[in-house]
Structure 1
Amino acid sequence: MKLVSVRWCSWVVLAGLAGLAQAQTEVSAKSEAQSLACLVKPSDPPRFPARHKLDHGFGGMRVMLTFSKPDAAPQVEVLFNSAREDMQDEMHRYVRQYRLPCLTPQDGAVQAVQEFSFTNTDRDATPLPAASRKAGPPFCLVMPRRDMEGWSSFVRQEVEHVVVTATFTGDGQQPPEVKIIHSTGSARAEAAVRARLAEYRMPCRTGQEAAQSFQQQFSHFPAGHRRHVFKREAFGLTEFLGMTREPRQLKALYDFQSMGCPFKVTYRVYGGAVPNEALVRGPKDPNRLPFLSWLAGLQLAFRDDRQARDLFGSELQIDVPCGLLDLKGEAS
């Protein structure tokens, strides 16, 4: 399912109101331009730039658009970016055609924030991190404009994975501290990953916030490699359990009525070298923690080592229904 969602955030500001906190200031009497009532947009919406039939890539962007002339495209400032280069190209192609013809000198420069989400999967779209958080600093990671270079010319004809944790501790203009937590890549691959992460920034940081960390995987598939992928990425719970090792031997007792059912689990497949991840997006419910821990401990029944390498880091969605899960581990 190819989907590009485009969403306006709820705040629009005038010239002179700098920064995200001020950007949320209410304007009591907005003109036609200030409310974007006359905004002219292209008729062709953004498209998911599929690289191949089973391209399950995804990414998101949050951008600040500044309109200063009625007959000119807005200036674009990237506030958050997890999209690859071709997705960014599609966003820029789209907003370059925006115009605000009713803008007058009395309006000043009009700013607005818009979000773009690119996905090509049957999983639910992953929401962008909130622009502001009551419980902590906003997560405003900005990845480079261009895709990573360096692996395309590698001589090594093997699948390579490098998984890192990156931590921002200073202000937003400082690169993160990087730690490699798993690697099947060469020294050259690891160096390319470190060089890539050195370009990451978190512009909303001032240096006074607590440290912010994230985990990211980098993978290289040699040219001509016929890669295993999941044709689907959303499964019912029973269907997912049938994909694990020795499903008839599973033992579990969970009452989903006590967990705010139904709910969807985001499951990242690693397979032993790195612990699998199972989480529910949104508010945390401690009643789900034992079940999520049990899910994360399960291993998929890969056909062979090559399939396991190809699917390393893949993300699935598990739809958990209401009811009782009672598995007694009986082979029959």
Structure 2
Amino acid sequence: MKTMTQILTRRAAALCISVLTAWVGIAHAADPDADPRSTRGERHLACLQAPMLTALEVPAPPDGSPRLLRARLTFTAGDVEPTVEWLWKDAPGAVAPLEQQLRGYRIPCFEPGGGPQLVVQEFWVTPGTGKLEVGQVWPTVSAGQPSSCYVRLETNFEASRPLPKIAKALVYFRFVEGREAPVMEVAYHVGPPAFLHSVRSQIETYRRCPDGRTTSSWHQQLFTHLPDTAGQPTFKPMEFRAFLSKVKDAEKLRAHFDLSTMRCPFQVRWTMYQPALPNEAVAMGEMDDNRKVFLGWLGSLRLDLPASTEAVTFGESMTITVPCLLINLQPQR
């Protein structure tokens, strides 16, 4: 196990109470009856029907090294063929047969009303043998997807009573018909019940936006309480290879990425939501779907931390510097 001092630094807290908000004004679940812990894209992928080849006939180049193909698919309905856009195609001879397979993908549980669903997938094909390595499908978003909003009547959050330890709560809330204040569900909570009561009271002050843009979708918000004597826990910035050395079961990792096809080097904001939810990796700066599969994989990794450290660092972010590398990780025997 890695200790807190190996991975974390501490900075003085400017306020006793801080409120950290993720995706304020943007709803992440289009289906109000769905589990708020899953996004629309994740629910779509859960039912994705994706027939796939295991080998292709591709002429062998002189070096015979695997070749990368990266595709972005756009779905507009559950029974409609997706459009296919190639973001990277280093093996032109494999494009036609692969695209034929990709056009056979379907999302039978497609949720209407949320705009198109975009996904990205990578493939590695070995010329000569035609061996095909099929990567995981990851959802992405389009610029025109709808959002929702809310307003806060009380802008300052205060715990109902002084608390001696750090307390945190990650909650989801949404507005339902016939109710002025939103309903709330708790995704993660550490600390006394009094803190959660204060969070619930704060959420009760939220209201719909007056311009009609509020929907019944779920919103997410993180609340953090820091005692006067506590410093704000924060992660050190890390280089990518140093980050991998802190990952749980690093010797079991399997990954194949060519970072030179992703406008490297670049920086990633990696936010820890373990053990309650998957962690999150977002590239800093302009969005580029060439990085989507790599970022999805990076967010799926968990740090090797004791439960006590997870409670303190839940919701905290670090900056990871990603260099130009060819990554081919295989589980160690």
Given the two structures, how large is their TM-score scaled by the length of structure 1? 0.49
Given the two structures, how large is their TM-score scaled by the length of structure 2? 0.49
Relative contact order higher in (CA < 8 Å, ≥ 6 apart): 2
